[in-house]
Amino acid sequence: MNSVQKKSASLRETGEITKTIILLGKEKKRRGALVFALSGPLGSGKTSIVKHAARMFGIPKKKVTSPTFVLVKRYPIARWGFSSLFHADAYRIKNKREFEKIGFKTVMQDKNAVVFVEWAENIKTLIPKDAITIRTAHGKNAHERIVTVL
């Protein structure tokens, strides 16, 4: 996938951008899990992207909250050949061993898993090279977000 940058002026537009990312991602050749590595400042839309993606996989958006204190949440799914959606948050991680201890490497190898990692830069050595990188940023006004997919 080539680098693409989109501007979003609303949650609805962020949802449309997310839909495009997920549909492209699910067709991507990969060795293990379908991994989306998200980075960007606080409040720039990372969790909103995960919520929209979760909805595409049949999980109500209201059920999805940032797993900052539990590190990883697992949601059972049954769509497009995937059986689990994992939502990870590495915001408060000081050492990647915290993720290793909870079996994160095994999750990354599961071809039936979809994994979203917020603050992926904090555990970049655990992120597979075939991950889809999503960078979010604040736009010029309060509601605008810039989403870059690498």
Domains of the chain plus CATH, in order, are 4-149 (3.40.50.300)
Q: What band does 1 get if pLDDT is binned at 50, 70 and 90?
A: low
The H-or-E segment that residue 23 falls in is helix 11-26
Cross-strand partners of 118: 38, 89
50's torsion region: left (phi>0), alpha (psi -120 to 50) or beta?
alpha
What's the rounded Cα separation, in Å, for the pair 79 and 90? 26
For residues 75 and 68, the model is more confident at 75
Task: Choose among 109, 120, 116, 102: nearest CA to 35.
Answer: 116
pLDDT at 96: 85
pTM of this prediction exceeds 0.85? yes
What's the rounded Cα separation, in Å, for the pair 12 and 17? 9
Tell me: the pLDDT tens digits for 112-140?
A: 999 999 999 999 999 999 999 999 999 99
Identify whether the C-beta of residue 90 lies closer than 8 Å to the C-beta of residue 123. yes
Task: Choose among 33, 128, 38, 22: nearest CA to 88.
Answer: 38
Sign of CA dihedral 95, 100, 104, 110: positive
Q: Enter the tokens of residue 3.
A: 């680098």
Tell me: the pLDDT tens digits for 13-65?
A: 999 999 999 998 988 889 999 999 999 999 999 999 999 999 999 998 788 98
